[in-house]
């Protein structure tokens, strides 16, 4: 049997659910020649010094040779490519050139929970990308005995998807080394680049924008050095590069505890050791990271509790209060989704924006959107039109939405940790004000 046929047969027999099978397929393992006899499950891989065999269900659970497998290297390489024709996998509708690992991940995260409902995915498979495909089709589990609609996705399938995504975590050691000989050292030449940039900007080193530009250049240099390295699977987060910059290039700007635009530049990298003249700034940075961040997180938590108490009596009691006031909103691609479920005021009357296509009709226009800010109802009551569909569906749960503001503070403080990077961004003043 050929490698590819074996792989697909094992996938269809759900072997991707067995951790041992996956490891024996993508890594070299060491076990005694007869170990397989203790548990001769179908498609079990048997590695020998002379070749690869598998427990063949069509041959009375005896060994069959995998003809085109090379002994001494893993049966399937992590980056090994494979050509597939449409229909070889139940959710594959076009011919693709991909990796064996991509096929494995597709079986685990898409075929296992959804069968052929979601198409084969190439490239990076992110939870959010799959959720985007699911969100409009998601339905409650139908009562037992009722037929299932193949065009919909049910909650139990979604839960299986969650399990499948978590299941992948155990293969990180197989496919994603966290460090490599290259990623453990500084990029050669980065110190010279730092010296050159500092010299070029020596009169403006107090300016956060200048330091941000230097940081950016150092990180770009480092990224170029690590391009194509095996550590790239792990370093998918920008933060990894920010941390490497501090470790191997330059600590950079420290703001300390006060809310201010002034920064102090620490030119040494952590690898170079402490510049004792910057001792106060380094201590401030430590305090900002350990104590201050904790204390500010507490503020966010307190705000959540306070908002819960202050808003616990709010409820949605009527269909429409008839308000003709609203918030002005410039409708753009970036805020289209926000409009869905709300009503805009046209000719003194509320017009419901029910779908994203309805919202698109207002693209580029400034509309007046009904808002709880202007609800006419008395005391703690609100109407369905002012609060919009999503909140109206949970009339007693408005305080959950209110408390979100506190959670936003909490998130901001929590994310302000050491790996934070100074950066500059362009602001479109007209768009910001519209
Ligand atoms: Zn109202």
**pLDDT tens digits along 275-332:** 899 898 888 888 877 787 778 788 888 888 999 999 899 999 999 999 999 999 999 9
How far apart are alpha carbons 127 and 123 in whole angstroms? Answer: 13
Residue 340: per-residue pLDDT: 92
Residue 2: per-residue pLDDT: 94
The Å distance, Cα 342 to ligand 1 centre, comes to: 12
pLDDT band for position 420 (cuts 50, 70, 90): low
Query: Nearest 5°: CA angle at 47, between 45 and 51?
Result: 110
Please name the residue ranges forming H helices in 97-141. Answer: 100-106, 112-114, 127-134
**Is a pLDDT exceeding 60 seen at residue 187?**
yes
**Is a pLDDT exceeding 80 seen at residue 419?**
no
Half-sphere exposure (Cβ direction) of 8: Cα atoms closer than 13 Å: 15
Structure tokens at 40: 């001769």
Residue 416: per-residue pLDDT: 64
**Is a pLDDT exceeding 70 seen at residue 259?**
no
Per-residue pLDDT tens for 38-78?
A: 999 999 999 998 899 999 999 999 999 999 999 889 999 99
The Å distance, Cα 399 to ligand 1 centre, comes to: 17
The Å distance, Cα 392 to ligand 1 centre, comes to: 11
**Is a pLDDT exceeding 90 seen at residue 218?**
yes
Structure tokens at 377: 């109802």
Report helix, strand or coil for 434. Answer: coil
Give every CB contact of residue 325 below 8 A, 6+ residues apart in sequence.
345, 368, 370, 374
Which residue has better confidence, 419 or 190? 190
Interaxial angle between packed helices 398-415 and 384-392, expressed in degrees from 0 to 180 and rounded to the nearest 10: 70
Per-residue pLDDT tens for 366-411?
A: 999 999 999 999 988 999 999 999 899 999 988 888 888 888 887 7
pLDDT above 90: percentage of residues in the chain: 62
Per-residue pLDDT tens for 353-376?
A: 999 999 999 999 999 999 999 999
Evaluate whether 42 touches 57 at the Cβ level (below 8 Å). yes
* 373 closest CA partner among 388, 394, 355: 388
Evaluate whether 369 touches 344 at the Cβ level (below 8 Å). yes
The Å distance, Cα 335 to ligand 1 centre, comes to: 22
Interaxial angle between packed helices 293-311 and 398-415, expressed in degrees from 0 to 180 and rounded to the nearest 10: 170
- Output the pTM of the full model: 0.70
The Å distance, Cα 46 to ligand 1 centre, comes to: 70
> What beta strand segments (E) does 109-249 contain?
138-139, 153-154
Residue 417: per-residue pLDDT: 57
Q: Which residues surround ligand 1, an ion (CB under 5 A)?
A: 321, 375, 383, 386
Task: Please state, rounded to an integer, the average pLDDT across all residues of the chain.
Answer: 90
Q: Please give the C-alpha separations between residue 11 and each of 107, 176, 177, 330, in angstroms, as whole numbers.
A: 7, 22, 25, 50
How far apart are alpha carbons 229 and 79 in whole angstroms? Answer: 13
The Å distance, Cα 347 to ligand 1 centre, comes to: 17
The Å distance, Cα 384 to ligand 1 centre, comes to: 7
């Amino acid at each position: 049997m050929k490698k590819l046929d074996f792989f697909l047969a094992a996938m269809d027999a759900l072997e991707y659910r067995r951790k041992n099978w996956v490891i024996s397929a993508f890594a070299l393992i060491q076990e005694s020649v007869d170990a397989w006899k203790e548990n001769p499950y179908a498609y079990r891989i048997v590695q020998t010094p002379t070749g690869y065999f598998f427990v063949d269900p069509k041959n009375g659970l005896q060994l069959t040779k995998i003809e085109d497998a090379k002994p001494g290297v893993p049966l399937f390489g992590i980056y090994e490519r494979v050509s597939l024709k449409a229909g070889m996998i139940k959710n594959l509708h076009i011919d693709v050139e991909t990796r064996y690992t991509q096929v494995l991940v597709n079986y685990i995260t898409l075929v296992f929970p959804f069968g052929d409902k979601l198409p084969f995915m190439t490239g990076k498979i992110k939870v959010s990308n799959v959720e985007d495909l699911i969100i409009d089709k998601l339905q409650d589990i139908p009562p037992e005995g009722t037929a299932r609609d193949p065009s919909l996705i049910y909650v139990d399938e979604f839960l299986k998807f969650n399990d499948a995504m978590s299941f992948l975590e155990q293969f990180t050691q197989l496919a994603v080394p966290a460090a490599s000989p290259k990623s453990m050292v500084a990029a050669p030449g980065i110190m010279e680049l730092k010296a050159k940039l500092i010299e070029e900007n020596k009169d403006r080193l107090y300016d956060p924008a200048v330091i941000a530009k230097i940081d950016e250049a150092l990180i770009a240099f480092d990224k170029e050095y690590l391009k194509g390295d095996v550590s790239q699977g792990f370093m998918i987060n920008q933060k990894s590069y920010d941390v490497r910059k501090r470790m191997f290039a330059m600590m950079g700007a420290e703001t300390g505890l006060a809310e201010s635009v002034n920064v102090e530049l620490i030119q040494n990298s952590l690898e170079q050791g402490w510049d004792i003249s910057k001792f106060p700034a380094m201590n401030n940075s430590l305090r900002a990271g350990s104590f201050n961040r904790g204390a500010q997180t507490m503020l966010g938590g307190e705000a959540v509790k306070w908002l819960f108490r202050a808003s616990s009596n709010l409820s949605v009691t009527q269909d429409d209060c008839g308000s003709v006031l609203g918030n002005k909103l410039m409708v753009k691609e970036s805020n289209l989704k926000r409009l869905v479920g709300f009503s805009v005021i046209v000719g003194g009357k509320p017009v419901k924006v029910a779908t994203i296509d309805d919202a698109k009709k207002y693209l580029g226009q400034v509309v007046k959107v009904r808002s709880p800010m202007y609800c006419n109802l008395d005391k703690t009551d609100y109407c369905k039109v002012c609060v919009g569909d999503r909140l109206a569906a949970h009339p007693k749960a408005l305080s959950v939405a209110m408390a979100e503001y506190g959670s936003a503070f909490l998130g901001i403080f929590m994310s302000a940790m050491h790996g934070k990077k100074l950066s500059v961004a362009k602001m479109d003043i007209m768009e910001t004000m519209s």
